Amino acid sequence: MRTQVGIIGAGPAGLLLSHLLHLRGISSVVLERHSRDHVERRVRAGVLEQGTVDTLVAAGVGDRLRREGLPHQGIELRYGGAGHRVAFEKLVPGRSITVYGQQEVVKDLIAARLADGGDVRFEVDDVIPHDLDTDRPYLTFGGERLDCDFVAGCDGFHGVSRPSIPAGALTEYEREYPFAWLGILARVRPSAEELIYARTDRGFALHSMRSPEVSRFYLQVAPDEDVAAWPDERVWAELKARLETVPGFVLAAGEILEKSVTPMRSFVAEPMQYGRLFLAGDAAHIVPPTGAKGLNLAVADVRVLTEALALWYATGSRDALDGYSRTCLSRVWRAQHFSWWMTTLLHTFDSEDPYGRRLQLSYLDYVTSSEAAAATLAENYVGLPFEQSPTPGGLPPDHFA
């Protein structure tokens, strides 16, 4: 077999890259080790930046997003017995976020690729990249071989792409946090119209949602927490203790559909390319979910990669490909800092560090009382504008402005 771009991983990064390349007349094959059902059901991020929404809509895969997504014009920071709203409509006019589950984005992209005759292969075993430092890379899998011009590693932090790069070719930066998140998906109507980020002495809590009937919650827990230690009664009791801290707020409880523990880490691999292998999304970088940046960074990566590949096929110029990592990393490190900042601002660290707790509260007071500080949070939360605008389907470059 032969294609122009071999893509490892059918998550949002790999599927969106395949779709954007298709719109530019560039062929690809997507190889995914899990089943389609698994990929479409795994619950991940749910906050889409303005630029991510614009990208999906412009690429023709945003119809259901527009119908079912929940646009939000702000978030609430809750601490010290009071709630403080960060108003996007005032601080960053014309820009907002949309709550729409990552698995829904994946469903939309799979449907679009298959409708267009795209080659997306699930339950593929033993994908191995070869000859990445030549102009004839190829992938082997399940006894087959796929020749291609380029390989895109979109297979996540634990995938095969990054380990395929020779030792010493990458510099890896990593930070692990002394806590994890217990994620809860519940069939219950959200108790608030916008996301609530709650900082308490008991630990952090987040009230989010996936639809008008399904809510998503997170609790700060120990990094080695056993999900079996959290029966439903304990979950609801702790959520109420951390969220019912302002007068009049009552948290609605319901059937819990899923529980899982997510470790908190920051990670960046530099550069995000080796030879003709280009890393995108979680294969290249991880952020703690506090800043809601993981999925959005993946979209930003594949926008840049799409343009670079389109330029190479159109003109033979490698300039954009050679600059791929540099372009992506400028946004990645900004998102790393913002995610670290939100994490350290809202979580409980050493219980014996009263100095650190006072610093947290002081900065929370500053963010909620200074319009300039709140604007910085809002600007980063809704997503910084894209400097480079891909043109899927022939849309003019200023479509994304």
Would you say 388 and 308 are in contact if contact means Cβ atoms under 8 Å apart? no
Q: How far apart are CA 346 and CA 362, in angstroms?
A: 12
Map tokens 């899982």 to a residue. 260
Q: How far apart are CA 235 and CA 181, in angstroms?
A: 12
Active site residue 240: no
Active site residue 218: no
Residue among 347, 381, 390, 392 flagged as catalytic: 381
Q: How far apart are CA 305 and CA 104, in angstroms?
A: 23
Residue among 285, 293, 347, 392 flagged as catalytic: 293
Active site residue 19: no
Q: How far apart are CA 215 and CA 208, in angstroms?
A: 6
Q: How far apart are CA 6 and CA 336, in angstroms?
A: 28
Q: Which residues of 126-153 are buried (b: 16+ CB within 10 A; e: fewer)?
A: ebebeebeeeebbbebeeeebebbbbbb
Residue among 12, 19, 22, 72 flagged as catalytic: 72
Q: How far apart are CA 368 and CA 64, in angstroms?
A: 35
Would you say 5 and 15 are in contact if contact means Cβ atoms under 8 Å apart? no
Active site residue 197: yes
Residue among 79, 100, 177, 197 flagged as catalytic: 197
Active site residue 381: yes
Map tokens 């920051």 to a residue. 266
Q: How far apart are CA 152 and CA 280, in angstroms?
A: 7
Burial label, 376 (beta-carbon count in 10 A; 0-12, 13-18, 19+) = middle
Q: How far apart are CA 25 and CA 160, in angstroms?
A: 27
**Backbone angle region of 293, left / alpha / beta, with phi > 0 → left and psi within -120 to 50 → alpha:** alpha
- Give the residues across from 267 on adjacent strands: 174, 286
Give the CA dihedral 375, 379, 380, 386, nearest 10 degrees: -160
Would you say 211 and 98 are in contact if contact means Cβ atoms under 8 Å apart? no
Residue among 137, 289, 390, 392 flagged as catalytic: 289
Point out the residues that are catalytic.
72, 197, 289, 293, 381
